[in-house]
Chain A
Amino acid sequence: MKDLANIKELTTNLTVIYVEDEEFFRVLISKKLQGFFKNLFIANDGIEGLELFKKNDIDLIITDNIMPKMSGLDMIEEIRKKDTKTPVILLTGYMDTEFLIRAINLGVTQFVAKPINFDNLYSAIEIATQRVILENLQRKTQEQELELFKYREKYHSLQQERAFKKELRIIRNDLFMRKIDLDCAGIKEWHCSHLFKPLDIMSGDSYLIRKIDDKKYLITLIDAMGKGLSASVTAILSTSYINHLSNKYREAGNFSLKECIESYYDFIQTELLEDEIVCVSFIFIDFKNCLMHYALFSMPPLLLLDENNEIKMIKSNNPPIMKFHMPFVIGEYDLSSVTKMLFYTDGLNECFSKKNELYADYLIEDFSKSHSAKELYSRFSVLMDNLTDDITIIFLNLLNSSSINRQFLIENKIKDITVITDEINNLLMDYLKADELPVFMCALSEIIYNAYEHGNIDLDSEKKKILISTDKYEEYLIEYEKDNKKCILVKIIINEYNDYTMVNVIITDEGKGFDVSLLYDSGKDNTQLSGRGVRIAESILDGIYYNRLGNEATINKKLLKGG
């Protein structure tokens, strides 16, 4: 006698069809199967059975074969057109070879001979049920594995995103959108632009540009050996430590490049694996005295362009930093005749195109023609179609002009801005093409309005947001203008060369300036009602550089001549 309690434990969640044309057997067997299943549907023939199967989610079919309208096997044949898995128990008194072959081919899993022995029926149900349970379990496991995989992917992606944010947070650029004004007769200012293009989220490249005092900066480029997490950890450790040192030296007012490098060397040695190396460029520039001190540890050469258009290459003067301490040297270079400088990691010069051309063969020419990191990288991208390493570029360009083409004074009313920008528009018509001029003027207008708002009428982002959201912005401007006496000075410097024209515009307001570092994150929150002006200008121009206070901006745009 079968242990029915055990079988019922297995079958209790199943939905079953029982198909039988003879009423006597239909009533008897249905009664015997009471309490076994969650749902038991009864059909009188194959057609009813098929309909019930289509309408419900069936786990098991128990069917007679010989029935009017549609036999059990014919019903199963129809079911199998859409479903190949649901187990079938066939109750039949008729078995020959041909019948058996057909039944087996149709996936009938259990046969119970008539007249029915109920122990045999219960066994057949038990075996068929175990199979259903096993298949359900497999499907559920697969679904769970997929969910876990998706969760891990999402978690991994989130971790990577956070790690990259952290990496960018650690990188400090005190010259972000800033210029170094050399405070002399005429206009002489250094513009610093950069490009940081890691191949993966966790990068073996890193860089720092740290202000030591008003005109002295420490520039560090780091290229840790290898790729992936290990290189990234070394790069981040290095960046964090040098940041820490820079802060200490700045506070103490006693920066020494030699001590800085020694301290870093002592620190990083203990963290390196035995076969690990780090390549670093330490570059300390005193802009006021036009002097550069450098220690390059197996990094690509520094490229400098002088006022005679001659390129100077300063090669590495030290081997890479390793676990084993080696003495190092610091070089010195006079920058008084230098007009451009390029510092970079080997992802740039050692890049091969798909046609096997090495970018180092083009770098010097591209450097001499470029005026910013953005421009250099766009020249690089034309030739190189196959990035294989992280790229870091720091580009310093000197704007040196003894004369100004025109200057304009915008007085204190907002309508004066329109009058003056129209005049500037007319002046620039001779230099910019018809489709370039409106775009350039849009960028210039943004910077002028920025100077007006933040500088002359002292309107910060928070206040502006409130005024816009309460529709009181124009009212505020009109009210403030009544007493405002501050002006904006716009100087236009146009330098013409053989195949291009360089337009530089310096916009100076009389306000107390604004915090340029706020621009670092500006525009990322697209629910902010303001803060996009400088980003719009940045996307159009080659460069925007603010002075220390933030009340003077130099913008530039290179315009190619010809059609």
Chain B
Amino acid sequence: MEVKATGASEVTITGNIQSIEDYQNIKDVVRSRINKGASSITIRISDSVSMPSSVIGFLLKLVHVDKIVMSILVRDDRLYNLMEILNLITILNVKKM
């Protein structure tokens, strides 16, 4: 998996999000955007078919505790369906790419 900042408040993730290292890398990059002043974050997930619960927990914390305005764009239907099953579409503002 690769994660990089592709804008002042945008992060793009390629490859599958799977391990605890992936979670830590995502957290570091997203945090770097927030520390530079971003109050909203767009996360583009171009091909992951899953999202570990640790990443979900981190994103929810950003929304509820840090009051970051979140937007997530996913390409894969399976990941989108998972977000729907977990009732996260609205709260994390998930959309299909």
Q: Which residues of A contact B (CB under 8 A)?
A: 414-415, 417-418, 421, 435, 438-439, 441-443, 445-446, 449, 468-469, 474, 523-524, 526-533, 535-536, 539-540
Contacts and interface: CB of A to CB of B under 8 A. Distances in A.
A317 B44 CA distance: 60
Contacts of B61: 468-469, 529
A468 B64 CA distance: 12
B38 interface: no
A539 to B, nearest CB: 5
Interface in B6-50: 16-21, 24, 49-50
B78 interface: yes
Contacts of B87: 523-524, 526
Contacts of B24: 474
18 contacts: A418-B19, A435-B49, A438-B49, A438-B50, A439-B78, A442-B50, A442-B52, A443-B50, A446-B53, A449-B53, A524-B87, A526-B87, A527-B91, A529-B61, A530-B53, A536-B52, A536-B53, A539-B86
A532 B56 contact: yes
Given A449-B53, A539-B86, 6 more contacts: A417-B20, A418-B20, A468-B58, A527-B91, A535-B86, A540-B50
A446 B78 CA distance: 17
A418 B1 CA distance: 14
B97 interface: no
Contacts of B85: 535, 539
B31 to A, nearest CB: 9
A499 B54 CA distance: 36
Contacts of A523: 86-87
Nearest to A438: B16
B53 to A, nearest CB: 4
Contacts of B20: 414-415, 417-418, 449
| The 8 A-B residue pairs with the shortest CB-CB distance in the complex, in nearest-first order | A442-B50, A533-B53, A532-B53, A438-B16, A529-B57, A526-B87, A530-B57, A526-B91
A246 to B, nearest CB: 32
B60 A528 contact: yes
B26 to A, nearest CB: 13
A553 to B, nearest CB: 15
A527 B60 contact: yes
B54 A449 contact: yes
A284 to B, nearest CB: 35
Contact of A439 (B49, B58, B60, B64): B49
Given A421-B19, A526-B86, A526-B87, A532 B50 contact: no
B68 to A, nearest CB: 14
Interface in B72-86: 78, 82, 85-86
Contact of B21 (A418, A468, A524, A529): A418
Q: Is the interface of A mostly helix, strand, loop or mixed?
A: helix
A181 B82 CA distance: 31
B86 A532 contact: yes
Contacts of B19: 418, 421, 445
Contacts of A417: 20
A458 B64 CA distance: 26
A437 B91 CA distance: 29
Contacts of B56: 532, 536
B33 to A, nearest CB: 16
Contacts of A446: 52-53
Contacts of A443: 50
A527 B65 CA distance: 10
A441 B18 contact: yes
Contacts of A414: 20
Contact of A539 (B21, B60, B82, B91): B82
A147 to B, nearest CB: 28
B18 A468 contact: no
B89 to A, nearest CB: 9
B10 to A, nearest CB: 22
A524 B87 CA distance: 8
B52 to A, nearest CB: 6
A533 B82 CA distance: 12
Nearest to A436: B49
Nearest to B64: A527
B60 A536 contact: no
Q: Residue among A524, A532, A540 with the most chain B CB within 10 A?
A: A532
Contacts of A442: 16-18, 49-52
Contacts of B50: 438-439, 442-443, 536, 540
Nearest to A421: B19
Given A438-B18, A439-B78, A445 B52 contact: yes
A252 B78 CA distance: 49
B37 to A, nearest CB: 18
A532 B57 contact: yes
A449 B20 CA distance: 9
Nearest to B84: A539
A358 B17 CA distance: 44
Nearest to B91: A526
Contacts of A445: 18-19, 52
Given A445-B18, A468-B57, A536 B49 contact: no
Nearest to A443: B50
B35 to A, nearest CB: 12
Nearest to B48: A438
Nearest to B50: A442
A524 B20 CA distance: 24
B15 to A, nearest CB: 9
A459 to B, nearest CB: 12
A526 B52 contact: no
Contacts of B64: 527, 529
Nearest to B49: A439
A528 B54 CA distance: 12
A418 B85 CA distance: 27
A126 B39 CA distance: 64
A435 B51 CA distance: 15
A432 to B, nearest CB: 13
A84 to B, nearest CB: 44
